[in-house]
Chain A
Amino acid sequence: MKSNIFDFNRFGLLVRKRFLDSKSSTIYEILGLAAVLAIIFGLIATTGSIPIVHQTGVLGVGIVILGIVYADRAFSETKGKLKGMAFLATPASQLEKLLNAILYTSVLFPIVFSLIFLAVDGLFYAAANATGIFSMENIFSIDGLNFAETIRNILIVQSVYMLGSIWFGKRSLLKTTLAVVLFYGVIFAVAGIIIRMNYELLKTFSESSNGVNVHWDGNDIIRGQFMKPALWLLPPFFWTVAYFRLSEKQI
């Protein structure tokens, strides 16, 4: 009898099942994405050049926006009765189902998106060099990109929307977005109240030390250096909550 918690063979079957279940739509999505990226690059090219900032902008915005949409579909099966039952009744553990969702939304999606982007970008770069109709900077000449932080931020955003996908029923994308806005609203409101309450102390401290290294805006308090390592804990935290939510899901 196989383990009821995790089994590599079963996990592999689950990954394969998801691929087979969505094979035809995935092919169309990939072709559609390539076409959309080509149109965007084409429009930018009409200005005479495709600077690197535009390329990274398309990559960044695309990966975040589409990543959100994709993460929101992580547990889309559970939104409908019939699909939900088929999903929950699939003989795999909750952990395997969660890891499968993470694999598709937070690992394979960014990789596939980046590969499609690079393919389209590469084609335009080759076209620019061959024809000279427009100029284009090489995407690989980018510098100043913090790769680890970028991955971390993508994982945070995706894990939040993945949790929203299992937490909320219908319109989970909208509800998750509202929940995120509300969360940040509360955080900034609380930070603002704390700062206001300690305004005199901060002001005195600021004046007595000539303002050196004293910042009292909300952003700096929230984004303090001590928070950076803690931010890496956010995706596992949201995944853990999603796991329990999945375990208690009833249809």
Chain B
Amino acid sequence: MIDIKNLQFGYSKKRVLFKDLSLGLEAGHIYGLLGKNGAGKTTLLKVIQGMLFPTNGSCSVLGFNPKKREPNFLSDVFYIPEDIHTNDMRIRDFVAANAPFYPKFDLGSFLNYIREFEIGYDEKLSSLSYGQKKKAIIAFGLATSCSVLILDEPTNGLDIPSKSQFRKIVASVATEERCIIISTHQVRDLDNLIDTVIVLDEGVVALNQPVDAITDKLVFKTVAPELAPTAIYGESSLRGFTGVFHNANGEASKLDMEILFNSVLAQKSTIQQVFNNK
């Protein structure tokens, strides 16, 4: 569905972000795109949407070259940026102006989503709070039924009830035909939602693994401090030592996205070796 090969991109000759990035994303998954500030998450999402052009390499999305920004491509890929822009208009008018561009737009679903988010169809976008505006745009994006849905920091600005509503709604729209990419720093907001984790670091994909594969090979647990040396990576806490360990005995554990992310950054080669060993 999304095929990126040997991607190179930089904002200037001195500031090269991606030197040789390759990534394949399939339908039927919710990808979590993680990375430090400035790692290039938003840039990568913009390349996928055709807002930025690679300096070298290729990017193919649904068989289209995003750089061309062809209407048939744009009508099947929806990108919700971290900060959103809305005109001074009613939600009803916003839908009337934008929905016809998306052939698979489902008004019934949109009305359900905004009801779930407690937003009125006749409310003016300018009178809504930032979080409410964002929820309205998220609801619109989900209702477009686009094959590729890109969400950049979707939970920023959402209150606690809205975050759980968001998770519920996104889970309900995840289908076998759809690829959802969520870039986030708020890993705890989404760790029950994401089924594949992608970590960007130093211009390359440091990790791209399904959650099942991660918990097959690694175990996340809190142990007594004396067991800390056996961990690949860990952090001391009041409860003991919380870390990530080799899962030699097939232990079941719940993925701790934050620990995983930190371990990839701190012990990149060790983690990569774990997944390279078949």
Whether B98 sits at the interface, judged by CB under 8 Å, is: yes
Report the minimum CB–CB distance from B261 to chain A (whole Å): 27
Within 8 A of B (CB), among A205-251: 247-248, 250-251
Q: Are A250 and B53 in contact (CB under 8 A)?
A: yes
Whether A36 sits at the interface, judged by CB under 8 Å, is: no
Whether B70 sits at the interface, judged by CB under 8 Å, is: yes
Q: Are B75 and A91 in contact (CB under 8 A)?
A: yes
Taken together as a complex, chains A and B put the C-alpha atoms of A17 and B102 apart, in Å, by 13
Within 8 A of A (CB), among B81-101: 81, 83-85, 87-89, 93, 96-98, 100-101
Whether B49 sits at the interface, judged by CB under 8 Å, is: yes
Assess A2 versus B72: contact at CB under 8 Å? Given A17-B97, A80-B85: yes
Q: A-B pairs with the 5 shortest C-beta distances?
A: A82-B85, A91-B75, A91-B74, A20-B97, A4-B70
* Number of chain A residues whose Cβ lies closer than 8 Å to a Cβ of chain B: 31
Q: Are B79 and A20 in contact (CB under 8 A)?
A: no
Residue positions of A touching B, CB distance < 8 A: 1-2, 4, 7, 10, 13, 16-17, 20-25, 80, 82-83, 85-86, 88-94, 96, 247-248, 250-251
Q: Chain A contacts of B52 at CB under 8 A?
A: 250-251
Pick the contact of B101 from A13, A23, A251 — CB < 8 Å? A13
Report the minimum CB–CB distance from A78 to chain B (whole Å): 11
Assess A23 versus B89: contact at CB under 8 Å? Given A13-B101, A16-B97, A17-B97: yes
Taken together as a complex, chains A and B put the C-alpha atoms of A251 and B89 apart, in Å, by 24
Whether B51 sits at the interface, judged by CB under 8 Å, is: yes
Whether B108 sits at the interface, judged by CB under 8 Å, is: no
Q: Chain A contacts of B83 at CB under 8 A?
A: 82
What are 29 A-B interface contacts by the 8 Å CB criterion?
Answer: A2-B71, A2-B72, A4-B71, A10-B71, A10-B101, A17-B98, A20-B97, A21-B89, A21-B97, A22-B87, A25-B88, A83-B85, A85-B85, A86-B85, A88-B50, A88-B69, A89-B49, A89-B50, A89-B51, A90-B74, A90-B98, A91-B102, A92-B71, A92-B101, A93-B70, A93-B71, A94-B69, A251-B46, A251-B52
- Extra 17 A-B pairs, beta carbons < 8 Å, given A20-B96, A25-B88, A90-B74: A2-B72, A4-B71, A10-B101, A16-B97, A20-B93, A22-B87, A23-B89, A23-B93, A88-B50, A89-B49, A90-B101, A91-B75, A91-B102, A92-B74, A92-B101, A251-B51, A251-B52
Report the minimum CB–CB distance from A73 to chain B (whole Å): 14
Q: Are A4 and B72 in contact (CB under 8 A)?
A: yes
Taken together as a complex, chains A and B put the C-alpha atoms of A82 and B70 apart, in Å, by 20
Taken together as a complex, chains A and B put the C-alpha atoms of A195 and B250 apart, in Å, by 90
Most buried by B among A80, A94, A250: A250
Q: State the main secondary structure of chain A at its contact with B.
A: helix
Q: Chain A contacts of B74 at CB under 8 A?
A: 89-92
The closest CB in chain A to the CB of B82 belongs to: A82
Q: Are B97 and A1 in contact (CB under 8 A)?
A: no
Taken together as a complex, chains A and B put the C-alpha atoms of A82 and B88 apart, in Å, by 15
Taken together as a complex, chains A and B put the C-alpha atoms of A251 and B79 apart, in Å, by 13
Interface string of B34-78 (1 = CB under 8 A from A): 000000000000100111110000000000000011111011000
Q: Are B71 and A91 in contact (CB under 8 A)?
A: yes
Q: Are B51 and A250 in contact (CB under 8 A)?
A: yes
Q: Chain A contacts of B102 at CB under 8 A?
A: 91
Assess A21 versus B87: contact at CB under 8 Å? Given A82-B81, A85-B79, A251-B51: yes
Q: Chain B contacts of A251 at CB under 8 A?
A: 46, 51-52
Q: Chain A contacts of B96 at CB under 8 A?
A: 20
Q: Are B71 and A7 in contact (CB under 8 A)?
A: yes
Report the minimum CB–CB distance from A149 to chain B (whole Å): 37
Q: Chain A contacts of B75 at CB under 8 A?
A: 91
The closest CB in chain A to the CB of B77 belongs to: A89
Within 8 A of A (CB), among B203-217: none
Taken together as a complex, chains A and B put the C-alpha atoms of A21 and B75 apart, in Å, by 19
Taken together as a complex, chains A and B put the C-alpha atoms of A10 and B72 apart, in Å, by 11
Q: Chain A contacts of B68 at CB under 8 A?
A: 4
Taken together as a complex, chains A and B put the C-alpha atoms of A1 and B89 apart, in Å, by 31
Q: Are A85 and B89 in contact (CB under 8 A)?
A: no
Q: Chain A contacts of B87 at CB under 8 A?
A: 21-22
Most buried by A among B79, B81, B89, B101: B101
Pick the contact of B81 from A23, A85, A90, A248 — CB < 8 Å? A85
Taken together as a complex, chains A and B put the C-alpha atoms of A91 and B79 apart, in Å, by 12
